[in-house]
Amino acid sequence: MATTAFKRIDWASLDAAGRKAALARPRQRTEGRVTDVVREIFDDVQTRGGAAVADWAIKLDKAPPRRIAITPDVVAAARDALPPADTRCIRIAAENVRVFHQATRPEDTAFVETTPGVRSKLVWRPIGAAGLYVPGGSAPLFSSLLMLAIPAQVAGVRQRVAVTPPSKDGGVHPAMIIAAAEAELDALWLVGGAQAIAAMTFGATFDDGEIVACDKLFGPGNAYVAEAKKYASSLPGGPSVDMPAGPSELLVIADGSADPEIAAADLLSQAEHDADAQVILVCDSTATINAILEAVEEQLETLPRAEIARASLAEARIIKVSDTATACEVTNLYGPEHLAIQTEDAEALVASITAAGAVFVGRFAAETLGDYAAGPSHVLPTDGGARTLGGITTSSFMTTMSVQTVTEAGAAVLAPVAARLARLEGLEAHARAADLRSAV
């Protein structure tokens, strides 16, 4: 039996530098000219619009951009191409995502009176146009379409532009059509890579429709897509972006009560994503660590994507800690995309977690459930982004504005204060604008 390449680490024996190295992300295996290629594509699309997008799509994906209208006939054909159980499960997942995001949509606050006659509140507004990038690659990630398009819809976004790379035959998997229908999208664009991001940045017109310039870009992708989003947001007047979304990550906290078979299955569920994915086991029991490693080996033997999983496990870590409190400290330093807590006091430990994209509590809360059907979006920050960012929610597709109302009496009290502070900063025009309110 082959052995996995988990690196075993004793946390207590490490100094600060050693602990930083133990929690380092793997060096991503990307082509050296990514930045240059992305800028070339963007310059071309900015100059030639849809013609440039089409040329790059044909060159890189072997198919021109194509708009798939989500009509009743198109949806019916997609349903006919899938077993009824598949379409039923997509509908269940979509409904759960919608229910969760409707329940968690932020609401306008009540007015807060800070000074008599001076009231302020926050109001939420949807962004105008959201660009939704849905990865294709070796599998149609229709779940990502649900996790992006439905929260955007619940937020009230007027224009949702969904793009996804075409399949090898230039078409689209029927499950993607069904997901688009469940998300109530009007259309799905078959175009991927940096050229799709450029199209959503500048806008692009084609024979069968238009991709509008978007206010904000969402979704994970390969190195070219990630660099394209980063570059787009750096342009003057360019779109904002959601978060860093790199290779998948999972950290499992386990103790002696953990089920080794379940812990191993969770670790492998992320390791099979791709060779750059990273999994970390943090545990206070040597016996449990050994049992989980043995279960990993047993499950790998029959895993269809075992080769990919083994490549990922070359960057895996097993960190031995003294107790679960220390395990939480390690987790917060790492800031994982996904965190599974498989301990006797799993629910109690959540209070100690400050940095994780999504937390799965207890033996029955599989990360896979969150990936597909629990409700919260699975589009989450990676590379430590969870220390300052959250995953996709309806608020990701919205902005806040403060609204202030002031009575004459309120201005009489507050304007002299504001005027004095303005003059303290040397801003006389500011002060005079306040003086005029108190002099009425």
Q: Which of 184, 237, 198 is nearest to 215 (CA)?
A: 237
Residues 6+ apart with CB under 8 A from 51: none
Domains annotated for the chain, with CATH where assigned, are 7-27+247-375 (3.40.50.1980), 34-108+126-241 (3.40.50.1980), 407-438 (no CATH)
Radius of gyration from C-alpha coordinates of the chain: 25
**Mean pLDDT value across residues 150-174:** 95
Average pLDDT, the chain: 94
| 305 φ, ψ (degrees, to nearest 5) | -100, 35
Q: Please say if the pLDDT value at position 3 is more than 80.
A: no
- 118 φ/ψ angles, rounded to the nearest 5 degrees: -115, 110
Q: Which of 193, 239, 191 is nearest to 213 (CA)?
A: 239
- The pair of structure tokens assigned to 121 is 């509140």
Residues 358, 380: Cα–Cα separation, whole Å: 7
- Give the torsion through C-alpha atoms of 57, 62, 65, 69, to 10 deg: -150
Q: Quick one: average pLDDT of 412-426?
A: 97
301 DSSP assignment: T
Residue 83: Cβ-neighbour burial (10 angstroms; 0-12, 13-18, 19+): exposed
The yes-or-no verdict on residue 439 having pLDDT over 90 is: no
Cα(40)–Cα(33) distance, rounded to whole angstroms? 11
Burial of 239 (0-12, 13-18, 19+ CB in 10 A): buried
pLDDT band for position 308 (50/70/90)?
A: very high
Residue 272 CA, distance from chain mean position: 19
Position 408 pLDDT exceeds 60: yes
Residue at 403: amino acid letter: V
Give pLDDT, residue 138. 62
The kind and range of the H/E element at 306 are helix 306-313
The answer, yes or no, to whether residue 263 has pLDDT greater than 60, is yes
Predicted confidence (pLDDT) at residue 2 exceeds the cutoff of 70: no
- Does the global pTM surpass 0.75? yes
pLDDT band at 273 (very low <50, low <70, confident <90, very high): confident
Mean pLDDT of the 266-292 span: 94
Residue pLDDT, tens place only, 56-112: 999 999 999 999 999 999 999 999 999 999 999 999 999 999 999 999 999 999 999
Counting residues of the chain whose pLDDT is more than 90, the rounded percentage is 88
What's the residue count for the chain? 440
Catalytic positions: 337-338
Residues in contact with 83: Cβ distance below 8 Å, sequence separation at least 6, in sequence order? none
> pLDDT at residue 1 above 50?
no
Q: Is the pLDDT of residue 28 over 70?
A: no
pLDDT above 50 (res 116): yes
What number is the average pLDDT over the span 159-176?
Answer: 93
